[in-house]
Chain A
Amino acid sequence: MKQIKRRDFIKIAGATAAVSAFGFPGIAAAAGKKQVVIVGGGTGGATAAKYIRRADPSVEVTLIEPNEHYYTCYLSNEVLGGARSMDSIKFGYDGLRKHGVTVVHDMATGIDAAAKKVTTKGGKTFSYDRCIVAPGISFKDNIAGYDMAAHEIMPHAWKAGPQTALLRKQLEAMPDGGTVLIAPPPNPFRCPPGPYERACQISIYLQANKPKSKVLILDAKDKFSKMGLFTQAFERHHKGTIEWVAAKDTGGGIKSVDAKAGTATTGSGDVHKAAVTNIIPAQQAGAIAITAGLTDESGWCPVDHKTFESTIHKGIHVIGDAAIQAPLPKSGYAANSEAKVTAAAVVDLVNGREPGTPSWVNTCYSIVAPDDGISVAMVYNFVDGKVAKVKGSGGLTSMDSSPAERAREVQYAYSWFNNITNDAFGG
């Protein structure tokens, strides 16, 4: 047990007073136990919580997450397409509780790196030896007029849940012959292939139910993830339904909206009044990372890639979409992989050991038609202090792959979904 200074003892005793039912043994435990507090219960946070407990059950893990359920962003596009229910992307935290994780449904509002404490909206304070922050993303104000009220009229659906349900409802309510406008964000952002898979999924719904309708993608970029494969899919499965327009042809895509009037305006001044408008704003790290001073001028969190410990605040690790992890992408698989590297490092660090050499994988499937799946994969290792792609590994589905192969990739995508969600949230 480490030496307790008088001042620390008062802090610990004070914290313990709140749970005085545990009496004296509570004080002893608080002083001797290794405590990890995880902020955010998405794929990264949940995976980290579980894998710390698997590696060392003597570490107390508290997960702070405001919502009682998490809706995965991955495969939420299939809810829009109609192949999947909201319930199928909904996950609770009982599985983590079975692993001995203390799950607190509250909103973290502050992290004091010097005092090693997390405070919450509910007025609680949690002390930690190591903190893992997995807050996902928040939105930048890059589109004039896209305020909180506008989110409810022109849903982003880039955090799955009620926004996904709202966008689906709007698709169901729109008349045949209408246009669905999708405005993808500039780089870097969560799930780089997501907007284009979304276009395919919405097109699947429209072709089956409202065949005179269109999907118009007004991009903030001139190129995008899996572009060759998506372009092939637009041609093969969505010809006449999906139209993609590069940023250079619109003055940079959608720059402002008037949600009440239902209009969206491009940089070159073209006004679009679509039946359904899906605005996906530019992104940065989740709000708590910004509040806690974990972000740099880019809006994302710089980290030491060996342990994902913040290079700004010691003792705090940032994982998932919020971190600067390139060449790893901002994907669910990468968050899961980063969480395991970080869990192993945190268990080593709280036990006074030097963390081992990390290794990561990313695999990302997109379902572009009911029986057509495409993927990108990569293995990453640790070279000269940074994440690096392993040369010769990874890459995309072949443009020439057969329909049978593409159908297999859909089944693999569903298997991946079942396995990664069970790996993160399962008991």
Chain B
Amino acid sequence: MPAKKSLAMLLSSILMLGSTQLMAAPSASMLADTCAGCHGTDGSSMGPAIPNIAGMSAEYFNTVMKEYAEDERYSTIMGRIARGYTKEEIALMADHFAGLKYMSTNQKLDAAKVAAGGDLYEKNCGKCHDEMGALADDDSGILASQWLPYLQYSMEDFQADKRAMPKKMKKKVEKLSAAEIEALLQFFASQK
């Protein structure tokens, strides 16, 4: 093959490779807006069960998506979705949702359970789930005002060892009765 031709072929293949690789990643809003069909516009879910994802810390978002993709964290569907994105794309979405306002939910709850949960919160959960579970910067999920079925599913998964609990949480959860746990979940869901 003449040197000139092979050089031209090499150059064109580099250009072709370049055009694929240089294709910019989708923008953060382009990626994040695809979530809205299930998680609600701007990550604020109308419920009843799919959680709000607006306002959660970027660290938590990145960790959770990685765990979903690697099946370290149980899901019905999120593993299938999480495997569709690169680490960089997930980081773009994480920053996007971290910057969005968390909207309060309005759900029917049991006032007596909410009150009982309030009494249990400080002693059992308050050290890590700051500000009644409303603080994103504690790098756990936002529990305050989250949809109750989602909180219940999460706790079922923790208790069934489908999802790993931090050691301190495991100790606390093991000592609580089913009624106490339900009261705590109702308490978190009731926060505005």
Contact = CB atoms under 8 A, between A and B. Distances in A.
B43 to A, nearest CB: 10
Nearest to B38: A416
Interface in A391-414: 392-395, 397, 401, 404-405, 408-409, 411-412, 414
Contacts of A77: none
Contacts of A408: 49, 76, 153
Nearest to A333: B37
Contacts of B40: 419, 422-423
Among B26, B77, B85, find the residue whose CB has the most chain A CB atoms closer than 10 A: B77
Contact of B46 (A375, A379, A419): A419
B26 A401 contact: no
Given A357-B24, A378-B84, A393-B80, A416 B37 contact: yes
Contact of A419 (B24, B50, B156): B50
Interface string B32-50: 0111111111000111111
Contact of B81 (A336, A361, A414, A423): A361
B36 A423 contact: yes
Nearest to B31: A359
Contacts of A392: 83-84
A408 to B, nearest CB: 6
A83 interface: no
Nearest to A397: B76
Interface residues of A, number: 45
A363 B37 contact: yes
B178 interface: no
Contact of B23 (A333, A357, A361, A419): A357
B41 A415 contact: no
Contacts of B156: 404
A401 B50 contact: no
A162 interface: no
A422 B45 CA distance: 9
A377 B84 CA distance: 10
Interface of B is mostly: loop
Contacts of B27: 344, 356-357
Contacts of A395: 80
Contacts of A420: 36-38
Contact of B48 (A341, A360, A414): A414
Contact of B50 (A356, A382, A412): A412
Contacts of B3: none
Given A390-B85, A415-B147, A419-B36, 9 more contacts: A357-B24, A357-B26, A357-B30, A363-B37, A375-B77, A392-B84, A412-B49, A419-B39, A419-B45
Please name the 6 residue pairs, one residue from A and one from B, whose CB atoms are nearest each other, closest first: A379-B84, A393-B84, A415-B50, A411-B49, A418-B46, A361-B34
17 contacts: A344-B29, A344-B30, A357-B23, A357-B27, A359-B34, A359-B89, A379-B84, A397-B77, A409-B76, A409-B77, A411-B149, A412-B76, A415-B49, A416-B38, A416-B50, A418-B48, A419-B50
Interface of A: 51, 333, 336-337, 340-341, 344, 356-361, 363, 375, 377-384, 390, 392-395, 397, 401, 404-405, 408-409, 411-412, 414-416, 418-420, 422-423, 426
